[in-house]
C-alpha cells in the first residue's frame, strides 16, 4: 500500500512556494499577458506609465525615451520627484530597491502621493525588473544622484551615491530577458505610436524619442490635447468627417475627463479610451457611460426637433457607425480587470461619466444644428442600411441555399465592354421602349434593362416584399454591387446608371419610385455620382427643314412663342416605344447630344424627410405638401 507521502505522486513536498520574482518568471502570463510581442512592450509601458504618473500629478513635464541601436533595450528618463531612496521603515531596505523587487511595493496606495495614477497595484516595476536581463536605476533627489542595478530581478549593485545632481527625476534602463522573450526586439513604430498618444493625452507633456538604430530624435508636444488628436485619427482613417466641427468637452472636477468625437463616412466606428492615461482597448465602465450619454442625447435632440423617422428604430449601433471618439477619464481608485489594464471595472464610473457628458452633448447639438442635422442624417442612413442589409442577407440565404452565384437577369441586354468606368446601364420603362433602346444603343458600352410597368414603392412596402420584387431584384442583380451594408462599390458593373422613362407624368412617377429605391437601399450610388435621369423629348416640332426636340409643355410654349416664320408641326410622343431607334439614339442615348440630370443629395436630412413624407404611408403629409404648393401649379396631372 502506498504511503500518504507518495500516494499518486502528490504530497506535501509537491507544493511549491514561489515568492515575488520567482513567481513572475514562472507565470509571466499572469502579469503581462504572455511572452509575446505585446508582452515585451508591456514591460516598457510599466516603466513609462510611472513617469507619466508624475506628469499627471503635476510633478514632471518632460520624458526622454531612448531605444538602443540593437533595439533590445530602452532608457526612460523623467524630471519628476525621483523615487525615494531612504530606507523603508518596515522592509529595512531602500525604498527604490523595494519598488523593483517586492510585488505590492509602491507609492500609490495612500492616495496622497499620487491623486491619479495608471497603476495602483504596486507590481508593475517589479514585474518589469523580474523579466529583464538587466535593469539600472538612477535617481536624482535632494541634490544627489543615486544608482543601483538588477539582473533578472535580483539586486546586483546596491544603492549608492554617485555624485551631485541638479534638479530631480528618475532614469531607468530596461533590457528585457532573451531567456523569456527569445529573439523578439522592441519595435520603434510601436513605441513611437504610444509615446505620441501620451503627448496628446497630457497637455503640456513633452516627450523626446530617440531611435539609436536610425540616429533620429523626435519631439512630441501637443498643446491642444485630444482635440488635436481627434483630427489626426480622422485623417489616418482616410474618411472625411461628415461635418466641419466636432464635439469636445474637458472637465477638471471629479470625474475629471476629456472627450472628443466626430463622425466620418466610414462604416466602422473607433473608440479610443484611456483611464489615468493608460489605454483600455477592451473598454469598460467609462466607455459604457460614453455610449449611454451618446444614445440618450442624440435621441433627445431628434425628438425635440421632430427628426425621428417613421417606422424606423434607431439603435446605438446606428449612432456609433462612422464615429471616431477619444475618451480620457481620471479615476481615484481604478479597478482594472487584470494587470495589463485592458478594461476598467469600476461600476460607479458609468453613471458619473454619463451624468457629465449627456447634458453637455445635448446642449452642443442644440447649439450647433448645422453640425447636428448632418449627424442625424448619417445615423438615419446607417439605420436604414442596417435593416436593409439584414433583410437582404436573410432573403439571399433563403433563395440561394446550396446554389451557385446569382446570374444576370434574362431581360438584360448587356454591353461587351467589361471596364465599369466605360459602361452605362439604361433602366428603361417597358419592353417596347426597351426594344427601341436595344436597337439604338452602342452595344460596346451601353446595356439596357427594361422594366415592366411601375415598380414597387420601396418606402411603403415591407423589406420582404422589396427584396422579393422581381423588377427591383433584376436591378440589384444587374448592378452586382449588393445593397444595404453588403454594398461594395468595387463590384459595381456600370459607373453610369441612367433612368430612361417616358417624358410624361407616368414616367416621372416611375422615376420617382426608382429614386426612392436607390436612396433607401443604395445611397452610395447617389453619393458617388453614379445615378442619372435621362431627358427624352416629349414633343417633336418641325418648322420647315428644322427639327426641334422639346422636353415638356413649358419648353414647347416657349419655342412656339419664338417661331415667327413658317407653320410648326407638333408631334407628341405617347412613349419611348413610339420613337424609332435612330431617333432615340440621337436624342437620348448618344453621349455627344443627350442631356442627363445628375442625381445628388444636397441635404441628407431634408431628403430623407421629403421621401418619407411624399412616398410613405401617411397621406396627410402628402396632402399638406400638395396644398402648400397648389398655387404654383397651372395644371395638375392626377
Which CATH number belongs to the domain containing residue 140 in this structure?
Answer: 3.30.565.10
User: Are 188 and 278 within one domain?
Assistant: no
Check whether 407 has a pLDDT greater than 70: no
Better-predicted residue by pLDDT, 500 or 565: 500
> Closest Cα to residue 77, out of 146, 167, 173?
173
User: Are 415 and 295 within one domain?
Assistant: no
Check whether 327 has a pLDDT greater than 70: yes
Best-predicted range by mean pLDDT (40-49, 476-485, 499-508, 515-524): 40-49
Model pLDDT for residues 142-166, shown as the tens digit of each residue:
999 999 999 999 999 999 999 999 9
Residues spanned by the domain of 141: 21-220
For residue 625, what pLDDT band results from cuts at 50, 70 and 90? low
Answer whether residue 396 is part of any domain.
no
What pLDDT is stored for residue 631 in this prediction?
53
Predicted TM-score of the model (pTM):
0.60
Answer whether residue 3 is part of any domain.
no
User: Are 243 and 189 within one domain?
Assistant: no
Complete DSSP assignment for 536-574 = --SEEEEETTEEEEE-SHHHHHHHHHH--SS--EEEE-S
User: Considering its fold, how many domains does the chain have in total?
Assistant: 5
Q: Are strands 216-220 and 270-275 parallel, antiparallel or unpaired?
A: unpaired
- The vertex-526 CA angle with 475 and 454, nearest 5°, equals 40
Average pLDDT (205-223) is 94
Model pLDDT for residues 510-541, shown as the tens digit of each residue:
999 999 999 888 888 998 899 999 988 888 89
| Residue numbers annotated as active site | 429, 502, 504, 506
| 105 within 8 A of 99, measured Cβ to Cβ | yes
Answer whether residue 119 is part of any domain.
yes
Across the chain, what does the average pLDDT equal?
Answer: 84
Average pLDDT (446-466) is 82
User: Are 559 and 485 within one domain?
Assistant: no
Instruction: Give the largest CA-CA distance in the chain.
Output: 129
Check whether 329 has a pLDDT greater than 50: yes
Answer whether residue 402 is part of any domain.
no
User: Are 552 and 443 within one domain?
Assistant: no
Cα Rg, the chain, nearest whole Å = 35
Answer whether residue 395 is part of any domain.
no
User: Are 149 and 198 within one domain?
Assistant: yes
User: Are 295 and 196 within one domain?
Assistant: no
Model pLDDT for residues 60-80, shown as the tens digit of each residue:
999 999 999 999 999 999 999
Cα 614 from Cα 336, distance rounded (Å): 53
| 282 within 8 A of 260, measured Cβ to Cβ | no
Answer whether residue 397 is part of any domain.
no
User: 149 φ, ψ to 5°?
Assistant: -140, 160
C-alpha cell at 147: 544608482
Q: H/E/C letters for each residue in 83-151?
A: CCCCECCCCCCEHHHHHHHCCCCCCCCCCCCCCCCCCCCCCHHHHHHHCEEEEEEEEEECCEEEEEEEE
What pLDDT is stored for residue 111 in this prediction?
43
C-alpha distances (whole Å) from 15 to each of 10, 18, 516 are 9, 10, 73
User: 77 φ, ψ to 5°?
Assistant: -130, 135
Check whether 109 has a pLDDT greater than 80: no
Boundary (domain end) residue, out of 196, 220, 244: 220
What pLDDT is stored for residue 131 in this prediction?
95
What pLDDT is stored for residue 20 in this prediction?
63
Share of the chain above pLDDT 70, in %: 86
User: Are 59 and 73 within one domain?
Assistant: yes
Answer whether residue 6 is part of any domain.
no
User: Are 66 and 206 within one domain?
Assistant: yes
Check whether 269 has a pLDDT greater than 60: yes
- The vertex-328 CA angle with 378 and 285, nearest 5°, equals 80
Better-predicted residue by pLDDT, 494 or 507: 494
Boundary (domain end) residue, out of 155, 189, 220: 220
Model pLDDT for residues 562-617, shown as the tens digit of each residue:
888 888 898 888 778 778 889 899 899 999 888 899 998 876 767 777 787 788 77
Cα 544 from Cα 104, distance rounded (Å): 102
C-alpha distances (whole Å) from 57 to each of 45, 168, 207 are 18, 15, 16
Cα 386 from Cα 319, distance rounded (Å): 11
Answer whether residue 270 is part of any domain.
yes
- The vertex-387 CA angle with 403 and 296, nearest 5°, equals 155
User: Are 214 and 137 within one domain?
Assistant: yes
**Buried (b) or exposed (e) across 117-156, using 16+ Cβ within 10 A?**
bbbbbbbbbbbbbbbbbbbbbbbbbeeebbbbbbbbbebe
Check whether 14 has a pLDDT greater than 80: no
Q: List the beta strands (DSSP E) in 408-470.
A: 424-429, 446-451
- What CATH code is carried by the domain that includes residue 518? 3.40.50.670
User: Are 45 and 161 within one domain?
Assistant: yes
| 32 within 8 A of 174, measured Cβ to Cβ | no
User: Are 290 and 189 within one domain?
Assistant: no
What pLDDT is stored for residue 142 in this prediction?
92
| 366 within 8 A of 379, measured Cβ to Cβ | no
Boundary (domain end) residue, out of 193, 220, 247: 220
Amino acid at each position: 500500500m502506498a504511503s500518504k507521502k507518495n500516494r499518486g505522486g502528490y504530497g506535501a513536498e509537491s507544493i511549491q512556494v514561489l515568492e515575488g520574482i520567482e513567481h513572475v518568471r514562472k507565470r509571466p502570463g499572469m502579469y503581462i499577458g504572455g511572452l509575446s510581442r505585446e508582452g515585451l512592450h508591456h514591460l516598457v509601458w510599466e516603466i513609462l506609465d510611472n513617469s507619466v504618473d508624475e506628469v499627471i500629478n503635476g510633478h514632471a513635464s518632460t520624458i526622454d525615451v531612448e531605444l538602443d541601436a540593437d533595439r533590445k533595450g530602452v532608457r526612460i528618463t523623467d524630471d519628476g520627484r525621483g523615487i525615494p531612496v531612504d530606507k523603508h521603515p518596515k522592509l529595512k531596505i531602500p525604498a527604490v530597491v523595494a519598488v523593483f523587487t517586492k510585488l505590492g511595493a509602491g507609492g500609490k496606495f495612500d492616495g496622497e502621493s499620487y491623486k491619479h495614477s495608471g497603476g495602483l497595484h504596486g507590481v508593475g516595476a517589479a514585474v518589469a525588473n523580474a523579466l529583464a536581463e538587466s535593469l539600472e536605476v538612477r535617481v536624482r533627489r535632494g541634490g544627489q544622484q543615486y544608482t543601483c542595478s538588477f539582473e533578472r530581478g535580483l539586486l546586483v549593485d546596491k544603492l549608492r551615491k554617485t555624485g551631485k545632481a541638479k534638479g530631480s527625476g528618475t532614469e531607468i534602463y530596461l533590457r528585457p530577458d532573451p531567456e523569456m522573450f527569445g529573439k523578439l526586439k522592441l519595435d520603434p513604430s510601436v513605441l513611437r505610436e504610444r509615446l505620441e498618444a501620451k503627448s496628446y493625452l497630457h497637455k503640456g507633456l513633452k516627450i523626446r524619442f530617440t531611435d539609436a538604430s536610425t540616429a533620429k530624435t523626435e519631439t512630441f508636444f501637443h498643446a491642444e490635447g485630444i482635440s488635436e488628436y481627434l483630427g489626426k485619427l480622422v485623417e489616418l482613417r482616410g474618411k472625411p468627417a461628415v461635418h466641419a466641427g466636432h464635439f469636445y468637452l474637458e472637465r477638471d472636477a471629479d470625474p475629471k475627463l476629456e472627450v472628443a468625437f466626430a463622425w466620418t463616412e466610414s462604416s466602422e466606428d473607433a473608440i479610443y479610451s484611456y483611464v489615468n492615461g493608460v489605454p483600455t482597448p477592451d473598454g469598460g465602465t467609462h466607455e459604457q457611460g460614453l455610449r449611454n450619454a451618446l444614445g440618450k442625447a442624440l435621441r433627445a435632440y431628434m425628438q425635440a426637433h421632430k427628426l425621428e423617422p417613421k417606422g424606423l428604430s434607431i439603435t446605438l449601433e446606428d449612432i456609433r457607425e462612422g464615429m471616431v471618439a477619444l475618451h480620457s477619464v481620471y479615476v481615484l481608485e481604478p479597478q482594472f480587470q487584470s494587470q495589463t489594464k485592458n478594461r476598467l471595472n469600476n461600476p460607479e464610473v458609468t453613471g458619473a461619466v454619463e451624468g457629465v457628458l449627456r447634458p453637455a452633448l445635448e446642449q452642443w447639438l442644440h447649439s450647433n444644428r448645422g453640425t447636428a442635422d448632418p449627424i442625424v442624417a448619417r445615423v438615419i442612413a446607417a439605420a436604414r442600411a442596417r435593416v436593409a442589409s439584414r433583410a437582404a442577407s436573410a432573403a439571399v440565404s433563403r433563395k440561394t441555399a446550396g446554389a451557385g452565384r446569382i446570374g444576370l437577369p434574362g431581360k438584360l441586354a448587356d454591353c461587351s465592354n467589361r471596364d465599369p468606368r466605360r459602361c452605362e446601364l439604361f433602366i428603361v420603362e417597358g419592353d417596347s421602349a426597351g426594344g427601341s433602346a436595344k436597337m439604338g444603343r452602342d452595344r460596346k458600352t451601353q446595356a439596357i434593362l427594361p422594366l415592366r410597368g411601375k415598380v414597387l414603392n420601396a418606402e411603403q412596402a415591407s423589406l420582404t416584399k422589396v427584396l422579393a420584387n422581381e423588377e427591383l431584384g433584376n436591378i440589384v442583380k444587374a448592378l452586382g454591387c449588393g445593397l444595404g451594408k453588403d454594398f461594395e462599390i468595387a463590384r459595381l458593373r456600370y459607373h453610369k446608371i441612367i433612368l430612361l422613362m417616358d417624358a410624361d407624368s407616368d414616367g416621372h412617377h416611375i422615376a420617382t419610385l426608382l429614386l426612392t429605391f436607390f436612396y433607401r437601399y443604395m445611397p452610395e450610388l447617389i453619393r458617388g455620382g453614379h445615378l442619372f435621369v435621362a431627358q427624352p423629348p416629349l414633343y417633336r416640332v418641325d418648322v420647315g427643314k428644322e427639327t426641334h426636340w422639346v422636353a415638356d409643355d413649358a419648353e414647347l410654349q416657349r419655342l412656339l412663342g419664338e417661331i415667327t416664320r413658317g407653320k410648326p408641326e407638333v408631334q407628341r410622343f405617347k412613349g419611348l416605344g413610339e420613337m424609332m431607334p435612330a431617333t432615340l439614339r440621337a436624342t437620348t442615348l448618344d453621349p455627344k447630344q443627350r442631356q442627363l440630370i445628375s442625381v445628388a443629395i444636397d441635404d441628407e436630412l431634408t431628403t430623407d424627410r421629403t421621401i418619407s413624407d411624399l412616398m410613405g404611408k401617411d397621406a396627410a403629409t402628402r396632402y399638406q405638401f400638395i396644398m402648400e404648393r397648389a398655387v404654383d401649379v397651372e395644371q395638375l396631372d392626377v
